[in-house]
Amino acid sequence: MTQDARSGAVLMQAYADRAALERTLATREATYYSRSRAEQWIKGATSGHTQQVVGVELDCDGDSVLYRVVQTGPACHTGEYSCFHRPLMPAQDTGDHGLDGALERVYATITERLATLPENSYVARLHAGGLDRVLKKISEEAGEVLLAAKNGDRAELATEAADLLFHTLFALAEVGVSPADVADVLRGREGRSGLKGPKEVG
């Protein structure tokens, strides 16, 4: 199984024999084995849609591995971001209405759009304008957040804060920083006061 290390999305499933796994561990290029062609294949060798492996995990039974990768372009031969793009059952509401899950899902959508650049996509249009355009949007949305908060408009504040978070996630995706990277920083700050005490006299 292959997973996008940045968004957590499942990208594809393929077979790998011992030699393919050993090559993956040695080169950090996702390598699989085609049983129909009886040969190894390196993801992206012909398409350019490469997978840089940042982690490999073995399951509890020792008969399956998980490649965690940084995907370049779509993972699926159809041009879709993930091979798993045909839902058989509508997604159910899990009752998770907190920001954490929502941010991960939005980030996954952004990275998918950046990988595939679909026509008429807002993400594709903003990406075409370059990073400076994204950063300008963050500045604009931050101003809207300040104004909504100053006016005490709760509904407007929630809307503008959502816009600010979206464009911040967009900038993170453009630079290659994931919500997990931000979470690591926040976890490192837990239980630590940011206040500085008085200077010692002496």
**Predicted confidence band of residue 95 (pLDDT cuts 50, 70, 90):** low
Q: What average pLDDT does the segment 102-111 reach? A: 85
- Other beta carbons within 10 angstroms of residue 80's beta carbon come to 16
Please give the Cα distance from 71 to 49 (Å, whole number): 7
Q: What is the pLDDT of residue 18?
A: 95
Q: In this model, does residue 30 exceed pLDDT 90?
A: yes
Q: What is the pLDDT of residue 71?
A: 87
| Three-state DSSP class for residue 109 | helix
Comma-separated ranges of CATH 3.10.20.810 domains in the chain:
2-71
Cα separation values, 181 from 88, 94, 97, 169, Å: 32, 25, 22, 12
Share of the chain above pLDDT 90, in %: 60
Report DSSP state, residue 29.
Answer: B
Name the CATH topology of 102-188.
Helix Hairpins (1.10.287)
Q: In this model, does residue 198 exceed pLDDT 60?
A: no
CATH number 3.10.20.810 given to 2-71: yes
Q: How confident is the model over 15-26, as pLDDT tens digits? A: 999 999 999 999
**CB 3, CB 9: distance < 8 Å:** yes
Share of the chain above pLDDT 70, in %: 92
